[in-house]
Structure 1
Amino acid sequence: MNDARAPVAAGNELERYLPHTRIAYLSMEIALEPDIPTYSGGLGILAGDAARSAADLGLPMVFVTLASRDGYLRQELDAQGGQLDTPDHWDPADHATALPAMVAVEIEHRQVWVRPWLYILNRPAGRSVPVLLLDTDCRENDPADRGISGRLYGGDVAMRLRQEIVLGIGGEMVLSALGFEIATFHLNEGHAALLPLALLRRHPLRTGHVEDAVPYDVDRVVERCVFTTHTPIAAGHDRFGYDLVVRLLGDFFDLSALRRLAGDDALNMTRLAISLSGSVNGVAKRHQQTAAAMFPGHLIRSITNGVHPETWVQPALARLYATLDPQWTTEPEILVRADTLPAQAVLAAHAEAKGALLDAVYRATGRTLSPDLPTIVFARRMTGYKRADLLLADPERLARIARDAPFQVLYAGKAHPQDGEGRSLIGRIQEASRRLSHDLPIVFVPGYDFALAKLLVAGADVWLNTPLPPLEASGTSGMKAALNGVPSLSVLDGWWLEACIEGVTGWAIGDPAAPDTHAGILLDKLEHTVLPLFRDREAWARLMMGAISKSGAVFTSHRMMRRYAAEAYLGSMLTG
C-alpha cells in the first residue's frame, strides 16, 4: 500500500483532538443526523449513538466511516405498494470539512486515493468527537474507483470488498497520516477486519517466516484491537473467495498466513477480526451464546447494546424527566425513579408524541388515523427472519379481534434492493392492508429513516418485534421505545430476553424454541391482555412507567460505552 500523504497537517479544527485521542471506532455506517444518510439501519444507528455517548462522557475517541455519497436507498412505493429504491445522494461539503491530507491504497494494482472529510459531532456543554468520512470520489482516481465510497452496501461482492479495503486499510492509513496516535482500534462488525492486517504488516517476526506459524507479531496487534460482532446468521458474515482477495489486494498479505487467520476456504471477515482482537463481544447475552457456538475456541463476551437517551426521548417526556433530575441525560440511571411520575403527566406527554407521529403519517401517506385507538408499530429492516407479517398470519381472526376492540397498525422499513424476500414482505403487508381495510387500519409508511424512527418509537402505543429466534442479535428499536414509555410485545430474543418483565415492561410472545406457535400466541396476547389493558388508562400509565424505569433506564448507550471504556479501552485511556 502506498502511504502518500500530501500534506500531513490537518488544520486547526482537527488538531485540538490529536494530543489526547487514543481510541478509533471504525464502522461501515454511522447515523450522524437525519440529513446525512450514511447508514442503513440498526448497525449505523448504534454507531451514531455510541459516538454521541462518547462525546457526552468525554471519551478520547475518533470515529471512522465511509462517506457513502449515494446513501443506502431512498424508499418510495409504487401503485401496487412495492418498494421503489433510488440513491439517496448527499454532499459531504454541506456538513463536513475536507481535510488537506490524502492516502492511497492499492486495489487491483491501481492506486485508489482516499480523502477524509471531518465532521464534528457536537454535544451540550462543549463536548464533541471527530468523525472521519472516507471518500474516494476524487479527481485523482480512476472512474471505476470513484464510486467505491458511493452507495452503502451497493454493487457486487467485489465492490463490497473494495469498500472494506477502504474502510479497514484506508482507515488505518488516514488516521496515521492525520497524526492520530491510536492505541486501541474498535472494529464495529467485520467490515473493518482488514485493519489488523495493516497493523500486522508493520510488525513482522524478526525470525522470518516459520512454516507452521503466522510470520507476524500477532500478540502485539491483538492487544490493540477490540471487535464487536452483531450478526447471528452465518450468511450475514462477509466471506470473500481468495481468488478475489488476491485479485484486489495482490501480495498485500501472506496468503497462507491469511488462511490460518480467516479460514481455509474463504476469507471470513468475522473470523479474521476474532483471530486478531484481544477483546471480542456479542451485543446481548443471548447473542454471546450464539456467537460462541459459531466460533468455538474463542473467548466472546457480551456487552448488550444501548441507545442514546437524549436523542430518542421526545420533548414532552424529556421535560417530564427533567423534573426527576436535570442531569438525567448524562445519568439516565435516574430514570429508575420514573414510576414516581404523575400518571396523567406521562399519558399527556405520550399523547403529544402520538399526535406528532400521526401527523407525519398523514403527510407521508394521506391516511388519517385516530389518536384514541391503540397504535401498534412494527418498524424494522424488511427481511425474512424478522417476520414482519407474523401479525397477519391469521387475517380472519385478526379482523375479528379488531372489530371487537379496534386498533391500528403502522409498518415501516426498507428492504435491501437485492433482498427479494424483504421486498415481497412489503408487498404482502400492502395486500393485507387492502384486504383488511374494513376492519383494521394498516398503514405502511415509506422512507423509514432516522427522523421517522424518532417519531415512531415515541408515538407508538405498543412496539411489536417478531424475529425468528435466535437470529436477533440485539434489537435496539425496542430500547428506544422503552425510553419513551412504550412497552414491547416481542419474541424472547436479543435484548428482550434481558429486559422482559411480563406485564411490567411489556409482554413475551411464546417460547423461543417453538416458533411455529408464535403467530397464535401473538394474537392471544393482543386479544386477551394488551387491548383490554389499554382501556384502563391508569393501569396503562403504570405499564409505561415500568417500561421507562425497568428498561429505558438500563439499556442506554451511556451504560454500553462505560462498559467498553472499563472492559476494553481502559489501557489506552490510561496511557493516553
Structure 2
Amino acid sequence: METLRKIAYFSMEIALDAEIPTYAGGLGILAGDTLRAGADLRLPVCAVTLLHRKGYFRQRLDDSGWQFEEEDPWDIEKYLTPMEPRVKLTLDEREVWVRCWRYEIEGQMGDNIPVYLLDTDVEENSEWDRHLTDRLYLGDHYFRICQEAVLGIGGVRMLRALGYEQLARFHMNEGHSAFLGLELLDEEMSLRGSEEIDDAMLHAVRRKCVFTTHTPVPAGHDQFSLEMARKVLGHHEAFFKRRDLFEPVKCATDCLNMTYLALNLSHYVNGVAKRHAEVSRLMFADHEIDSITNGVHAGTWVCQSMQSLFEKWIPDWKLDNFNMRSSLSIPDDDLWRAHQAAKNDLCDYIVNETGEQFSLDVLTLGFARRATSYKRPKLLFENKEWLFEIAKKAGGLQLVFAGKAHPGDDLGKFFIQDIIRMRADFAEHGIKIVYLENYDMKLAKYLVSGVDVWLNTPQPPMEASGTSGMKAALNGVPSLSVLDGWWIEGCVEGVTGWAIECPSGGRDARSLYEKLEQQIVPLYCERRHEFINIMRHAIALNGSFFNTQRMMLQYLARAYFL
C-alpha cells in the first residue's frame, strides 16, 4: 500500500521535469535524480518539497550581457494532482494552512515515487502567507525561516494526514528541512506525555533521521537569530532549552543553525564526495560524517543518439548501469557518429538561440554552472595570448558558457557580462564564444552531450561534489577539471580526462593551458583514435559508477535500513 512506504525524502528543491521550474541548480537536480533512481530500484520512498508556483527565476541577458531576473510561472494543474488534506502550523502566532499537490515519478519497471509539493496559497491564509511557497531562495531571513518551517514541520504533518504512519526514515537533503526533527520531537513528547526532551526521545528521533550535507562554504548553512526563531516557532520551550541541538558545542552563538540541528538529530550523516566528507569533518569536528559520492540518473542524462548507441551495444544499460563498462567494446566509428549527432543538436540550439554558427569539426569546450566567484568562470581567459596560440594550433576553438548568477550576486553578474563582452576580441583570433541564457535541465542535456570537453575550474576545496561532469561522462565527454569534488575519484589522467593541477603557489591557469596545448588539442586534431578511446573510458569507468543507481544502493546499505 502507498502509506506503507518507509522512507520520506525532504528537499527544498527537486527537479521533477524540464517543464517544472521547482529547482535552482545542482541540489535540486541531485534530488530529482535520486528519486528517479529510487523509482527504478522500486524503493519504498515518498518525497516532500515546496510548490514554487513562480519557480526560481528565468534569466534574461540584455545586449550588454547584464542579467535580469523574471518570474517563471508554470501550469501546475497540467502536471500535478491536488490532494485533499489540509494541515496547519503556527508561525509568529499566525495560523498558516498548507495543502499539497502530488507528482509521480515513474520508474522503468512501472513503479512510482509520489512527490508532495506543499502550497500555502489557500483562502484561509493572509495575503503574505499565501505567497510563502511561491519562490525558491528569495526573500529575507524571516521569509526563509517561515518557508523552512512549512517544509519541515508542515511536511511531516502533511505526510501524517496522508496516512504515512509507518515511516522509518526521514532523509534531509541539506539543512533546509531540519525542522522536521523538531516536529518528530514534538510527536515523541506527545506520545510520552512529557513537557521536556530527554535522551530516549532524542535517540528515537535520531534513529529515524538521515542527513546529507552538501556545501563546504560556511555561508551556505542557514542560520537564524534565536530571537527570530522564538518569534516564528512560538511555544517550543523544551526545544529552546536544548541549545546543544542547534549550536556548535561549547560555542554559544545565539543562533539556530539548521545544519547543526540536522547533524544532532540524525543517526547517519554523509558528505557527497570523499573529499567533501573530509572537509565536512573539519567543519563539524564533533560529528561522524561518512561519504556517499553523488551520481546522476543515466536514463535522464544520456542524449538520444548515445541512448541508441547503448541499446545496440549494451542493451541492459538502463537496468544495470554498471554494464556500461562494456562500452569499451563500442567501435570508434559508432561512438564518434553518436557524439557528432549530439554535437549537431547543440550547434542547432546555438544558432537558433544566438544566431552564432558553430562547426562540427572545431574543438568545443563547455562550461555551465552557477556564475559565482569560487567557480572561477574566467580562469580560462587569464592568459589571452597563450589561449590565442592554442586556438591557432587547433584550427580554432569554440567555447560554450551557461549559468545563472544568484539575483543578489552582482559579482557573478559581472562575470557573465565580462565573458559576453570578450566575444568580438576573441573572434578575431579564431575563438567563438557564446553564453546561453536560462540554464536549465533542457539546455544542460544539450551541453553535457554536445561539447567535446567539459571544463570545470572551482577553487579547491569549495566544490562539494559537482555532477555536471558526471553527466558529460555518461555521454562520452571527458572532463578537464580541477582536482576537487568527485573528480578526485573520477580522474584517471589521460584515460577518463585530464586534471587541472593546483600547485601550492597557484598557477592553475598554467596547468589548464598546458593540458589543452600539449594533450587535448593534439589528440583531438591529430590522433582522433586516442581521443575516442578516452571518450570510451569516460563512459566505461565514470559513467558506470558515478550514477544514482550505485548511489542509492549505498544509501540503502549504510543509512536507510541499518
Q: TM (normalized to structure 1)?
A: 0.93
Report what 1:119 is aligned to: 103
Size of the aligned set, in residue pairs, is 552
> Are 1:503 and 2:494 counterparts?
yes
User: Residue 513 of structure 1: CA displacement?
Assistant: 4.6
- 1:418 paired to 2:378: no
Contact 1:112–1:136 at 8 Å: present in 2 too? yes
2:390 & 2:62 partners in 1: Cα distance? 30
Match of 2:417 in 1: 427
Question: Given that residues 366 and 454 in structure 2 are in contact (C-alpha distance below 8 angstroms), is that contact kept between their aligned partners in structure 1?
Answer: yes
- Structure 1 distance, partners of 2:175, 2:425, is 42
Residue 81 of structure 1: how far off its partner (Å): 0.6
Alpha-carbon RMSD: 1.5
1:252 shift after superposition = 3.0
Which of 165, 186, 189 is matched with 1:204 structurally? 189
What's the counterpart of residue 4 of structure 1? none
Task: Return the match for 1:532 from 522, 534, 544.
Answer: 522
Task: Tell me if the contact between 2:195 and 2:238 (Cα under 8 Å) persists in the aligned partners.
Answer: no
Within the candidate set 353, 367, 387, 1:398 is matched to: 387
2:179 is matched with 194
State how far apart, in whole Å, the 2-side matches of 1:208 and 1:119 are: 37
Please give the secondary structure, in 2, of the residue aligned with 1:114.
Answer: strand
**Residue of structure 1 equivalent to 2:70:** 86
Q: Select which of 274, 277, 297 maps to 1:288.
A: 277
Q: Which residue of 2 aligns with 1:450?
A: 441
Q: What whole-Å deviation, never above 9, does each CA across 1:416-473 have from its counterpart, x for those lacking one?
A: 1011221111111112223312121111000100000011001010000000000000
1:278-317 maps to which residues of 2 (within 5 A)? Answer: 278-317=267-306
CA contact (8 A) 2:473 2:479 kept: yes
User: Which of 379, 383, 397 is 2:368 aligned to?
Assistant: 379
- Work out whether 1:232 is the aligned partner of 2:221: no
Q: CA deviation at 1:207?
A: 9.9
Task: Map Cα deviations across residues 502-525 of structure 1 (whole Å, 9 max, x no partner).
Answer: 0000000013655x2101111111
C-alpha separation in 1, matches of 2:106 and 2:504: 45
Q: Is the CA contact (8 Å cut-off) linking 1:469 and 1:512 kept in structure 2?
A: no
**Cα distance in 1 between the residues matched to 2:204 and 2:546:** 34
**In structure 2, distance between residues paired with 1:216 and 1:223:** 11
Query: What percent identity do the matched residue pairs reach?
Result: 47
Name the CA distance, whole Å, in 1 between partners of 2:194 and 2:16. Answer: 44
**SS of structure 2 residue aligned to 1:378:** strand
Distance 1:530 1:498 in 2: 21
Partners of 2:41 and 2:107 within 8 A in 1: no
SS in 2 for 1:441: strand
**Which consecutive aligned stretches of 4+ in structure 1 deviate over 4 angstroms post-superposition?**
205-210, 213-216
Q: Secondary structure at the match of 1:497?
A: helix
The alignment partner of 1:170 has SS state of helix
After TM superposition, give the deviation of residue 208 of structure 1 in Å: 5.9
- 1:255: how far off? 5.2
Contact 2:122 2:130 in 1 (8 A): yes
Q: Map residues 324-403 of structure 1 onto 2, 5 A cutoff.
A: 324-403=313-392
Mapping of 1:426-575 within 5 angstroms?
426-439=416-429, 440-511=431-502, 513-514=504-505, 516-535=506-525, 536-571=527-562
Q: Which moved more, 1:90-99 or 1:455-464?
A: 90-99
8 Å contact from structure 1 (residues 117, 133) kept in 2: yes
Q: Provide the TM-score with structure 2 as the length reference.
A: 0.96
Distance in 1 separating the partners of 2:511 and 2:315: 41
CA 1:207–1:551: 2 relative to 1, 3 Å: same
Distance between the aligned counterparts of 2:309 and 2:503, measured in 1? Answer: 36
Three-state SS of the structure 1 residue aligned to 2:147 is: helix
Query: For each residue in 1:469-493, what CA deviation from the matched residue of structure 2 results, as whole angstroms up to 9, or x when unmatched?
Result: 0000000000000000000000000
Looking at structure 2, the residues matched to 343 and 198 of structure 1 have their Cα atoms a distance apart, in angstroms, of 57
State how far apart, in whole Å, the 1-side matches of 2:239 and 2:193 are.
19
Question: How far apart are 1:224 and its partner, in Å?
Answer: 0.2
**1:322 counterpart SS class:** helix
- SS class of match (1:85): strand
Question: Aligned AA for 1:285?
Answer: K
**Counterpart-to-counterpart distance in 1, 2:472 and 2:333:** 19
Residues 262-307 of structure 1 show CA distances to partners (whole Å, capped at 9, x for unaligned) of 1131111111100000010000000000001100121100000000
CA distance in 2, matches of 1:449, 1:84: 16
- Which 5+ residue runs of structure 2 have no aligned equivalent? none
Counterpart in the other structure of 1:251: 235
Q: Distance in 2 between matches of 1:97 and 1:443?
A: 39
**What's the counterpart of residue 35 of structure 1?**
19
> Which residue of the partner structure matches residue 53 of structure 2?
69
- Alignment-derived partner of residue 162 in structure 2: 178
1:217 match: secondary structure: helix
Letter aligned with residue 425 of structure 1: F
CA distance in 2, matches of 1:456, 1:253: 51
Q: Note if contact 1:214-1:257 (Cα within 8 Å) is conserved in structure 2.
A: no
Kindly provide the amino acid, as one letter, of the partner of residue 556 in structure 1.
Answer: N
Q: Which amino acid aligns with 1:511?
A: C
1:413 maps to amino acid: G
* Equivalent in the alignment of 2:85: 101
Contact map agreement 2:448 2:477 (CA 8 A) in 1: yes
Letter in 2 for 1:487: P
Q: Please say which of residues 62-71 and 418-427 is displaced more in the overlay.
A: 418-427
